[in-house]
Structure 1
């Protein structure tokens, strides 16, 4: 049973905040979040529950199974608090990485059971959560190499994150059902008074900006090519959600000899890395695939026991009709590195209608930036030229639409219709921004994440 702080009834808080960790995670990953929350709101102001039942390889078991475990944990905590004289009237839910998707599933179950008629949903926040899955936007056969094979390395959770699963009898991926406008999950999300997300713009090897920021575009492929606006007081880390980017005057190109010298230096600097990868990748990939196969078998066994009611949870209460350690860290690093080798691709110019037949291309989370492909902008020469040349007015920045699937475009539309306050996060000092954004471990290189958490706490409504 996860711990929920308790206090005498005379000073009993009426607000419960639930924290849900991510893939391969454990409650320790959320220690900085929970500690910071407790420092701001003492025990007579807020109960805190850090979910524990999806620890480690249990996160392989799928969003549905994880969501049922978390919903059950919340209900048991509420019952225990009630027995001790603590009446909860408000609920906040915070999800990190995969935990944000598990949290979205769990609140749908709680909504369906009528919990929100008794308890007011206040804050729902995700940090680096892949709301659109982790499929790399690719066209052609590349799509079938990594997005199909990569999905099979993480058991059911992998298939769901890569959206190649078929959820129950819907014939649709779970993430598509999770974002269906008529589903209990979207209706539950809409109940929360405040909805926000924090999305890394660079160096997130697990979940890139387009999916964590719920966006049709990725304007941060070359962040140095645009002028970035920050939230006052959070300079160099948190971007202004209303208008994060402005056009930047192009700089003069250096002379050819200078460019040649610079490129030569870059090549020599990368030689040791290339040599290391040539040796390490075959060995590391083998270890990764063997470990994934073992964990997938174990995961299937746990899922079977869960469905049969042998895992300590009466899942019949949640199977409702739907409306529309060191080795583990190495496996995680291996998956992230493999996922990070693929560059995003874009829809060809003139195919804006493919993005979404029922919704505009405009991306509201980026102020006035338009996500339709630019005409005569050098787009055809590849992603490196997307942000080059031609000065533009601040309100006419345009970026190409990513090669997402119809399901992903529909997810964006549905989630944008519900509404999120979207905070892009620019972590400069560490190349593992996925962990740094919540200070997953206490290390100096993650200091920028402390600023992110500080901002989150300033927005948190008690």
Structure 2
């Protein structure tokens, strides 16, 4: 097909490839972001083993239009590609999909649509992989006005995608955010995920400026806030980049705190070193923010027009074919009560004492707004250490790693996705402060070389042909 980046055997070769691998880029992205992964797949597997489809129809500003619209575009692109391959003599009976950043959420939506249409009755789902994908959205679990400002502004600068990523949308009038429906245990999306032979994710532990560890790693905790307190355990043969998923770290021995004079000297050196940067940023940031907000407003208006056109597409041949009734087989009772408590629950950095059951994905109606709000002003230093130890033990982390103050919906997402089962590979990018791009070698830069180790590990250990 003319508008798809389809890598298939050359003309005249034997049509023996029966496995298709679909690559889905992220927000503001395009197919070139996944060039290194696509090339690595082609180098490892011959023309008669694997066909690679790099999706292109949801590129650049089209990613503003939301996970649902993006998922429908990608699904249609996959369907048309399979039809074309069949016409060319290929018999596709194995399917894999890779999502990067927002593309991981679009991939989750897409496989639900494919399964609901019966594709997985005759095509075996093999590999489902995400790289740095915000499975729990991007709402920050920080406390204070900064958290509120970011969560409010961020949700309104990226059109439908922003509302869905910040979980302030109402999906199909269900009274629930799309990400919550996407992780509902009874949904077509979770049903489809369960069918894949291999499910894995790669998550940056530091320097991911787009999607932080707790959401890309589907975790109640972020033990990597202070690496000085940890001894990281790396997998042999992967250049201190991939952590051992079974035991990624243990607590390091406590060091003597620096003296007063050492702290003053360290602070002075840091200030002097960063003074030119701060001076430049003080000029550039206000200008950049104004330009960003103006552009976001323009793109949001354009996105709204595209979404309207998408909704009006022909009901037979267009995207209306993908609109399944409610998308879930059974809507659970009491969900409104949980969402009434959401705003209060997300205001703390860590869960206060008495709400540890939230971390287990408990979405019972008795988790009322009053109960959560009554403890929302409890600072971390006032939370008993015994409580922190209980939380961390329940979450499978080392003692003294507290549970983040995520929303009840996010804890429910964690439980549902963990029940499905993902192999989680923490990634430590040392040489780049932009690990979100480095993890997949988004561009050919020396600072992104460690991403090649990540892709090598995926191909060696987590991808099955």
Measured against the shorter chain, the TM-score band is 0.7 to 0.9
The answer for the alignment partner of 1:47 in structure 2 is 51
Q: Is the counterpart of residue 442 in structure 1 residue 444 in structure 2? A: yes
The answer for the alignment partner of 1:323 in structure 2 is 328
Q: Is the counterpart of residue 454 in structure 1 residue 456 in structure 2? A: yes
d(CA) in 1 for partners of 2:265, 2:13? 71
d(CA) in 2 for partners of 1:219, 1:6? 43
Match among 2, 9, 17 for residue 13 of structure 1: 17
Task: Quickly say closer, same or farther: Cα 1:99–1:316, change in 2 above 3 A.
Answer: same
3-state SS of 1:126 partner:
strand
d(CA) in 2 for partners of 1:170, 1:318? 17
User: 1:270, CA displacement in angstroms?
Assistant: 2.2
Q: Is the counterpart of residue 71 in structure 1 residue 65 in structure 2? A: no
User: 1:346, CA displacement in angstroms?
Assistant: 1.7
Match among 192, 196, 202 for residue 196 of structure 2: 192
d(CA) in 2 for partners of 1:294, 1:460? 40
Of 208-217 and 3-12, the range deviating more from structure 2: 3-12
d(CA) in 1 for partners of 2:289, 2:8? 46
Q: How does 1:239-318 map to 2 (within 5 A)?
A: 239-309=243-313, 314-318=318-322
Verify the 8 A CA contact 1:148 1:164 in the aligned structure 2: no
**What's the TM-score, normalizing by structure 2?**
0.86
Verify the 8 A CA contact 1:237 1:451 in the aligned structure 2: yes
Verify the 8 A CA contact 2:143 2:348 in the aligned structure 1: no
When the two chains are superposed, the root-mean-square deviation of aligned CA atoms in Å is 2.3
Task: Quickly say closer, same or farther: Cα 1:313–1:424, change in 2 above 3 A.
Answer: farther
Q: Is the counterpart of residue 380 in structure 1 residue 381 in structure 2? A: yes
The answer for the alignment partner of 1:329 in structure 2 is none
User: 1:264, CA displacement in angstroms?
Assistant: 1.4
The answer for the alignment partner of 2:40 in structure 1 is 36
Task: Quickly say closer, same or farther: Cα 1:3–1:280, change in 2 above 3 A.
Answer: closer
d(CA) in 1 for partners of 2:130, 2:398? 29
Of 157-166 and 145-154, the range deviating more from structure 2: 145-154
User: 1:259, CA displacement in angstroms?
Assistant: 2.1
Task: Quickly say closer, same or farther: Cα 1:395–1:140, change in 2 above 3 A.
Answer: closer
d(CA) in 2 for partners of 1:408, 1:168? 19
The answer for the alignment partner of 1:147 in structure 2 is 151
Task: Quickly say closer, same or farther: Cα 1:149–1:312, change in 2 above 3 A.
Answer: farther
User: 1:347, CA displacement in angstroms?
Assistant: 1.8
Verify the 8 A CA contact 1:238 1:424 in the aligned structure 2: yes
The answer for the alignment partner of 2:405 in structure 1 is 403
Task: Quickly say closer, same or farther: Cα 1:381–1:205, change in 2 above 3 A.
Answer: farther
3-state SS of 2:126 partner:
strand
Q: How does 1:54-65 map to 2 (within 5 A)?
A: 54-65=58-69
User: 1:178, CA displacement in angstroms?
Assistant: 0.3
